[in-house]
Structure 1
Amino acid sequence: MPVGLFVILAVPVIATWMGFRDADRRAATAQVQIIADQASFRMEEYVEARLFLLEVIRRDVEKQGLDRERFVALAESVREELQGFRAINWVDAQGVIQWVSPVDGNEGAIGRNVFEHPAAGPALTLAREARRPAITPPLDLFQGGRAFTGYVPVLNGAGQPRGYVNGVFLLDPLVRDLLAGGVLDQYDLLITDGGELLFGEWPAPGTSESGVQGVSTVKILDRVWNLSVTPRPETALPLNRASSLVFVIGGLALALALAVLLHVVIRNQELRRRTLHERSVLEMRLRHSQKMEAIGLLAGGVAHDFNNVLTAVLGNAALARGATEEKREHYLDNIRDACGRAAQLTGQLLTFSRKQVVTTERLDLSKEVEAQRALIRPLVREDVHLAVSLDDDAGFVEVNPSHVSQVLMNLLVNALDALPHGGEIYVETHLEAVSPRGEAGPWAVLEVRDTGTGMSEEVRARVIEPFYTTKAPGKGTGLGLATVYGIATGANGFLTIDSEPGEGTRVRVWFPQTVPETRTEREVAAETPVAMQGTVLVVEDEDDVREVTARLLRLEDFTLLEARDGTEALELFDGTNEIDVVLTDSVMPRMGGLELLRELRNRGSDAGVIISSGYADNIRPDDLKRLNAVFFAKPFSYTELIEIVRGRLRVRSTAKA
């Protein structure tokens, strides 16, 4: 990983450095090119100046005549005036070298025919035929050594060459004199003529190392020399400056440091991600374990309580078979009470799970609590002091009327159980502007506070779990706070519990405050006189439930129609509005209760509709309100059944009136 990151980070560093290198190379090339152009210009001037002196000798010979002593003296004077001549010679019209100056070192050239020299002959021929100066490429001299030579023709009166002034030029002294000032110490110079080396070495040292080179040409008469200048490795150019090396080393070091740092960061993030994943897996397993524990606790609690109820029902049913009339009534009452306890148990479970359809009203919270004072007073022992403080500003809340009583009773019972040796209980209502969760209100709060034993953090974390209890066996079901929690959340509120061991417990139920409403439909209907007879359609797929419901209603002289599902109910319904009330189950084959209700309303029926169910997961209060129907929870008693049917008859009569 660090190697890959280093490569990624090093690429821009190297790319930037290469950009600098290219810029430096261009700058260095421009600098070297200037030197090459200057050398070319100075070399042309240098050679042309010496050719001019040969022209001076030519004019003297043409004017004064050819004289050996005068020619040699003039040649010596020219050589002393300007350096760079190896010799100045006189070549006759036949191309034979007659005189040389100086003689010393050049004796081998005297008497040699230039036309016979492979390199000098063509230049001499050009001078003869063109009647103008000509120079040779680099050549091997008759007298030994290597140089280039120039020939200036001397013409007679007829315009024919009578001879030639020949200058032999040594290029090394010429170049060194030309590039004085240390240039040759810093640069390698290469001069060629048609592929022949005039100066320097093949190849130019440094060319392959830096790639920087200045190229120019030297034009002398008919000859063109190619000149190249190459900086030596030690030459201080922008290309070779130390800052470039520092930049590369520093950049790569920084890239390496960043690569290591990024590797550490990425590795830490990977370790953190892996740790979070492992923690998430462990938390999921823990939640699953807790859920299974809660399910086991719930199943055990439900089984325990229902088995007790069934034991009571079966036992009393067996006793009722052979009992006298008086005893039979007693046993039947016991069965009814046991069934009531079972209904209360299932109701608490549905309230906790928020799977219960709840009819709500806007109630004054403080007045509802005040109405319960007479009921809760007998529950309080003599060693417990109960203080009630109700604030009218708490205002109205939207809840089911029975739920306020359930909340208060459950919290009061828990508070009493926490005071085995007596103490104090405070029941209060008040208004709060902001909740502990930071949500803006207003909030109407019902608070029950005790000075009892309190709870540990572990217990406090589990108190709302169904059937979780710290009480002795037979002293509690473990559904009290679970029911309070379900009621609070069902009313769009929440529950807070503050407790410490030995410091007592404070439970607050937070309800969103609402505005009061006009008199309820139930209150208006209760004041409206109505005939108690009518036609009731019972729609139920369970034969036993449908049969017993119909029999109970016939006891009150209602006319009964029965259907197994919504489809059969529609077949019985003929649109004449003779059916006053429809009591239908929620979940049935082919067509359920809500679908039946919608179809009845679409057909224009104004019959009062009651939807009954033991588990109403698919029924929403908004749907009931919009379709003018009410919910009736199973199981129900005879009295509750008759009351709700008569209530729908009153509402229907009120609407017609």
Structure 2
Amino acid sequence: MARTDFSIGRVRQAVFSPANLPAAIAFVVLLVCAVVADQQNRKVSDQLARADVLAKVNIIRAKLEGNINGNLQLTQGLVSAIVTEPYLGQQRFASLAGNLFEQKSQLRNIAGAPDLIISLMYPMKGNEKAIGLDYRKNEAQRTAALRARDRRELVFAGPVDLAQGGRGFIGRIPVFVPTAGGGDRFWGIISAVVDVDRLYAASGLTDPAIDIDVALTGKDALGGSGERFFGGSNVVAGNPVTAEVEVPSGSWRISAIPKGGWPAAPKNERTLLALMALAGVLVVLPILVAGRLFGERQKNYAELRRLSGRLELALEASGIGVWEHDLA
């Protein structure tokens, strides 16, 4: 037991020797530097990851805005024609609207609703169920239709379930025609239905090669306070990158995170740790070796002084003199 205690004492004395103090200080300084460097590396890595996701989000945002505005701009020409021909019939309406579908777009159909009741449609095939729909009696579409009329501005709503089946975004444009007295009167609403799936595909949201998860919030162009209508709840809850998609009469909020979530550690973490460990060895080890050599030197000096003291004591006790002579 005594031998064990003695061995432990020797180990402690070797570890906590003053000769090891410079190496211990260097180790602590390097450890602090390593912690700071790791924190900075994580911060920079996170910023780069978010910047990469934001760049991809901005591409999708630009495509969404471009496609939506392009579809609605096509419809504005039809509105101008109706202002000059307020009593046009289905045949004339189909002829004018048919020209719009020759352009590349995501339009599904265009409906005319004089006095807020749909009676004009293109294409008619597949959309017959929508004929006769009264916006004032339709719970899902009444608010947006009346808002377009009352504000005299285009209102973009959706996605909504369509009477003829499927889902779409609807741009409702109020039409006011001139009267004989120099004013105008409300004619009705032209509704341009944008196909949901085709818009998503054209904007890159459903691209299989996309490496980010995206969510869209703001149904009926209500922005971040609106209802989420595309993507999972995990995106919104996953500290996402966000951007505003400007649509007529409002906005959507687009949120995105990398597929599988944000990386838990930087990609270069192992390399950085290896470099810091190597730097620690290259700095601390030479200091430790030098400290040990310095300690051995001091120990030898102490032993030499002890022996010299004994010799002086012996000489004094014996009365023997010691002379030094330079033979040269």
Paired with 1:496 and 1:206, the residues of 2 have a C-alpha distance of 93
Question: Residue in 2 aligned with 1:224?
Answer: 251
SS of the residue 2:232 aligns to: coil
Q: CA deviation at 1:147?
A: 2.8
Secondary structure of the residue that 1:496 maps to in structure 2? coil
Within 5 Å, which residues of 2 pair with 1:606-621? none
Instruction: Give secondary structure in 2 for the equivalent of 1:185.
Output: coil
Kindly tell me: are residues 190 and 180 of structure 1, through their superposed partners in 2, closer, same or farther at Cα, counting changes over 3 Å? closer
Aligned to 2:186: 161
- The aligned runs of 1:156-235 (5 Å cut-off) are 156-158=177-179, 159-179=184-204, 185-193=210-218, 194=222, 195-204=226-235, 208=239, 213=241, 215-220=243-248, 222-230=249-257, 232=259
Unaligned stretches of 5+ in structure 2? 1-14, 16-22
Deviations 1:111-137 (A, max 9, x none): 333223444212211222234432224
3-state SS of 1:51 partner: helix
Relative to 1, partners in 2 of residues 1:255 and 1:183: Cα closer, same or farther, differing over 3 Å? same
Number of aligned residue pairs: give it: 295
- Does the aligned pair in 1 maintain the 2:159–2:169 contact within 8 Å? yes
Distance 2:113 2:100 in 1: 17
- Find the residue that maps to 1:163 and give its secondary structure: strand
- How far the C-alpha of 1:149 sits from its partner, in A, is 1.0
C-alpha RMSD of the superposition:
4.1
Residue 79 of structure 1 and its aligned partner are, at CA, apart by 3.1
Measured after TM superposition, the shift of residue 297 of structure 1 is 0.6
108, 112, 115: which one aligns with 1:90: 112
Check conservation: 1:35, 1:229, Cα contact below 8 A.
Answer: no
- Tell me what 1:78 maps to: 100
TM-aligned CA deviation for residue 218 of structure 1: 0.8
Deviations 1:590-613 (A, max 9, x none): xxxxxxxxxxxxxxxxxxxxxxxx
User: Is the contact between residue 62 and residue 156 of structure 1 (CA under 8 Å) also seen in structure 2?
Assistant: yes
The corresponding residue for 1:133 is 154
Q: Take 1:3 and 1:232, find their aligned partners in 2: how far apart are those partners?
A: 44
Alpha-carbon distance change, 257 to 136 in structure 1, aligned in 2, over 3 angstroms: closer
Higher relative contact order (CA 8 A, sep 6+): 2
Residue 66 of structure 1 aligns to a residue whose secondary structure is: coil
Q: Rg larger in 1 or in 2?
A: 1
1:203–1:91 Cα change, 3 Å: farther
223 and 184 in structure 1: CA distance in 2 versus 1, 3 angstrom threshold: farther
Say if 1:171 and 1:267 are closer, same or farther in 2 by CA, change over 3 A.
Answer: same
Matching residue's letter, 1:176: A
How many angstroms does 1:7 deviate by? 6.9
CA contact (8 A) 2:113 2:188 kept: yes
Please tell me the residue identity of whatever aligns with 2:231.
G
1:253 matches 2:82: no
Counting only pairs closer than 5 Å after superposition, residues 260-279 of structure 1 correspond to structure 2 as: 260-262=281-283, 264-279=285-300
Judged with a 3 Å threshold, the aligned counterparts in structure 2 of structure 1 residues 7 and 90 are, in CA distance, closer, same or farther, namely farther
Q: Which residue in 1 is equivalent to 2:78?
A: 57
The one-letter amino acid paired with 1:215 is A
* In 2, Cα distance between equivalents of 1:153 and 1:262: 77
* Matches for 1:138-153 after TM superposition, within 5 Å: 138-153=159-174
> Aligned residue for 2:325?
496
What one-letter code is carried by the residue in structure 2 that aligns with 1:116?
K
Query: Are the equivalent residues in 1 in contact too, given 2:238–2:261 (CA < 8 A)?
Result: no
Partner amino acid, structure 2, of 1:70: R
Q: Mark the runs of 5 or more structure 1 residues left unpaired by the alignment.
A: 299-464, 467-481, 486-494, 499-507, 509-657
Q: How many Å separate the matches in 1 of 2:206 and 2:189?
A: 36
Partner of 1:315: none
Cα distance, 1:180 vs structure 2: 9.2
- Aligned to 2:244, what secondary structure does the other structure show? strand
**Residue 311 of structure 2: aligned partner:** 290
Contact kept, 8 Å, 2:90 with 2:121, in 1: the verdict is no
Q: Deviations over 1:552-605 (max 9, x none)?
A: xxxxxxxxxxxxxxxxxxxxxxxxxxxxxxxxxxxxxxxxxxxxxxxxxxxxxx
Change (3 A) 1:73 1:13: farther
CA contact (8 A) 2:64 2:245 kept: no
Tell me, what secondary structure is at the counterpart of 2:210?
Answer: helix
Contact map agreement 1:188 1:232 (CA 8 A) in 2: yes
Distance (Å, rounded) in 2 between the aligned partners of 1:196 and 1:162: 32
Q: Helix, strand or coil: the match of 1:161?
A: strand
**Secondary structure at 2:190's aligned position in 1?**
strand
Task: After TM superposition, give the deviation of residue 9 of structure 1 in Å.
Answer: 2.9
What residue in structure 2 maps to residue 66 of structure 1?
Answer: 88
- Native 8 Å contact 2:157 2:170 kept in 1: yes
The equivalences for 1:6-21 within 5 A come to 8-9=29-30, 11-13=32-34, 15-16=36-37, 18-19=39-40
Deviation at 1:92, TM superposition (A): 3.3
Shift of 1:276: 3.7
The one-letter amino acid paired with 1:168 is V
Amino acid in structure 1 at the alignment position of 2:94: V
